[in-house]
Copies of this chain bind each other. A is one copy, B any other.
Amino acid sequence: MLDDVERMRALDRSALLDTVGAFPDQLRHATIIAEGVDWPTMDPRNVVVAGMGGSGISGQLLRDWARDRLDVPVDVVNDYHLPAYCGDRTLVFVESYSGNTEETLSCFEDAMMRGCQTVAIASGGELVARARQRGVPLVMIPDDLPVPRAATAYLLVPLLVGMEAVGLAYALDELREAHTVLSGIQKQLAPATPTDGNPAKQMAHSLHGTIPVIYGHGLLGAAARRWRCQLNENPKMLARDDVFPECNHNDTPAWGESGNQDLFSVVILRDNMEDQDTIDRIELTREIAFRNARLTCEVRAQGEGALARILSTTYVGDYTSLYLAFLKGMDPAPVEMIEDLKKALKTRRADREGQ
């Protein structure tokens, strides 16, 4: 199946393979868009990214990227309301690909009410309308991507460019490096590259029929989460993510006597700049705990800057999740249960309000 490009393309009715293939170029395009924004002067004491699902994950990725360099904390809100501390010294990025995510619109109203330094990121919808109406700086991103989770470049890059624009951190050099590194990897992962030399296709074969658990560490915690979400949404697999060293304090003993460990597969995201203690910890956890898993595989970060290292691991996950969908004979794009749920919620609310 995975070496039959025509069959995969027939399943892939929204052409996610093409969108994912264009990710390196999207990084560059998104940089141009974000640099074109008229960034206001800001002096925040803390940064918050509000967004859900495919939009919210970019906030988590930013948080990992920022941890060792920003002199203010970055928080991520995947919910209806901003925390109480948000005020006029908080820089709030409000992100919704469609512009119509109700949780995110609620956070936008919170940000307005509390006088936060707000930036909106969306491709259209209500968020764009409200940002324009309130004179809030707006990053307009392309509206032709098939699903929000395929818009990560456009949802993440404005946060990074924003960090540089407001003087919190340098990001542009890392964006350039990430483009170069990912362009190189892309050829290896693409559908035209046969399974033999294609790590994403190999990984898909390994994980097929298992319950994947993705472990990150350090820079790669949100990367593990991104992997998990892509496995949830593209091939519709139940999956889990966790991080070293915290997992060694609770998850690890369950690998001994859970009784169902061989249903699970393990993917470890490895940094290319690990210290010897981390290497030992991961190797020993493999030996002691993960030996009971169906299988364990690893993905190695590439590049020098934090951004390239993060995205070089998530990129393998993006492709792997598509190949897993094809192995299951599925079109990866539709997420019917999310649509069903949104509709049912609207109906209930309308019924209540009509009473």
Residues of A within 8 A of B (CB): 45-46, 52-54, 56, 66-73, 75, 78-81, 83-85, 87, 103, 209, 211, 213, 218, 228-229, 231-233, 236-240, 243, 245-246, 248-261, 263-264, 276-277, 280-281, 284-285, 287-289, 328, 330, 335-338, 340-341, 344-345, 348-349, 352
CB <8 Å contact, A83 and B67: yes
Contact (A258, B238) CB under 8 Å given A245-B80, A246-B56:
yes
11 contacts between A and B (CB under 8 A): A52-B246, A53-B246, A56-B249, A66-B83, A70-B84, A72-B85, A79-B245, A211-B260, A284-B341, A284-B344, A284-B348
**Distance of A89 from chain B, by nearest CB (Å):** 9
**A196 to B355 Cα, complex, angstroms:** 40
CB <8 Å contact, B254 and A288: no
**A73 to B53 Cα, complex, angstroms:** 23
**A195 to B248 Cα, complex, angstroms:** 33
**A260 to B238 Cα, complex, angstroms:** 8
Residues in B neighbouring A66, C-beta threshold 8 A: 83-84
**Shortest Cβ-Cβ A-B pairs, 8 listed:** A53-B249, A229-B250, A78-B246, A236-B257, A253-B335, A232-B254, A238-B258, A232-B250
CB <8 Å contact, A79 and B246: yes
Residues in B neighbouring A245, C-beta threshold 8 A: 52, 78-80, 103
**Distance of A117 from chain B, by nearest CB (Å):** 15
Residues in B neighbouring A72, C-beta threshold 8 A: 85
**Distance of A175 from chain B, by nearest CB (Å):** 20
**Distance of A78 from chain B, by nearest CB (Å):** 4
Residues in B neighbouring A253, C-beta threshold 8 A: 232-233, 236, 335-338
Residues in B neighbouring A330, C-beta threshold 8 A: 257
